[in-house]
Structure 1
């Protein structure tokens, strides 16, 4: 059988595989750079993690412009088609997904057989059920597997379909383009791992040299002043971050513990503002605003301390979480408006709460 565009071409598969590999590399590199930069307080790493995905997305958009322009310039072709088989998927909505197998007979091109899926209103579905029904379809000339049934054809085509008889078309069935499968997934994973490895290699001095000097070097850990005999912890401060680590057996959810930990990092008279705060069971990390920038960020002392234990408990009780195993609170406010995100991971899934700066819950998610 010969058809107007042939079967789905395979020449684009190498390009698709390459794009999947590149996308995996960008995802791995950007996540590693951003998280690593926040942990060690390196602004170039944070910027790299934010800029890299944007550059990749812009490049993909610009790279596909010519192909999308060529496709947009092709007018869709209209033809008559015979329904050979159909299968509807049950659903609660008024429109149901239906798999059609059609014999398409264009006026000025060879006929072909195609399988496609389209949503049809339940009221109109009986009109398609009888085998051999002739309908009007449209499809791009270069991608016949994207055939769609025209629900409201013009009067001329509607009259043609009413009196036409279309014979079944033998031969293979065209189907919509399918993902590249295991090879594509494997290449994406390889790209992701190579992206992670590239960042770790290129920025190994920043990520692993804890003795480095300069404005970004770490200051030595110093014991925190004891507020009570039960608080045993350490504080690590850099030019961009401050970290409080509790000893085993203690928790940031203990009464007053989170407040004391934040205040231990904000004792100076000219308190620095923060871009983000990350709280875990025994660790607090504050990412400070760059020196000299006054308006960016929020006051880390403004966290709703008393609400945090209740928010963690509420997130852990969301449906599908199961037995809670770990929790994390992320506070952010680059422009001064504080928002909180509480994530609890359990044996059955993850529960998430998003709140405003006062701890009022705005959104819930679980599963």
Structure 2
């Protein structure tokens, strides 16, 4: 319970949830109050339980430390109950504080007067001030050592085990609370100031020395043609963000789709910068191709942009149109100046018209 209460307070602080913190704090305060009241109800200074007197042989003893007049001594005893108790002699280990002045009176193989409880034979204490009768009996008695197999101990959980159980219960309560709030704790909320990244339809392969990539995006709906002013450049910027580079080897543009490809192994002359293309002039090239290349009712068009072949030459632009008459295309340079035409009749011409 204490672990759950403390974990609830911690979770409430992390999540900035005042009700959760209040519940955890209240439960923790209640547990502390109950522990204090329970401690006050325990009788203070309660003496050892009443028992029966017997003689015991000191098998071994060892002082375990202490700087006061009474030092803790660990005894290993053979307790010999009185014949009327109908119990054979048995071994027991106890620790008892003995005054330094009395310590020489206890020695291995010596006899001491002890008090024990028949119902709890491990609960034994040495009587440091026995009556004259029991003192005389201790001086005259001889007790044989009981075998080690007769050693008795408290069958209840010892103090160390209690500590372990309390720790496990504490951790279990804390884990339970964290599991209950795992959603808010471990689900990161996007920053409102950070725009959501558009879904990527790219496919890429990479290694430590090279990387090829390709990605595309499709626009749909009325008025979403890439021929609309500004639409091509905005789409190119989006694709640049996806591939995390502006240098590509190929760009393909259709009515509602734009795709880019790239290869990091290509030299600079084998690529071109996405933002260097004259997107605002490309719709004019499409209109030119649809009206001047002999395709009376074009069904589709496509723009293919690739790097130039010569040194210092910019990207090459090819606009292809298709219809019932066939396929035709025109070529242009990086400034959208037409450099070649191929009509459906197969005739070509160099044109400086832009």
TM-score (norm 1): 0.39
Q: Which has the larger radius of gyration?
A: 2
TM-score (norm 2): 0.41
Structure number with greater CO (CA < 8 Å, separation at least 6) is 1
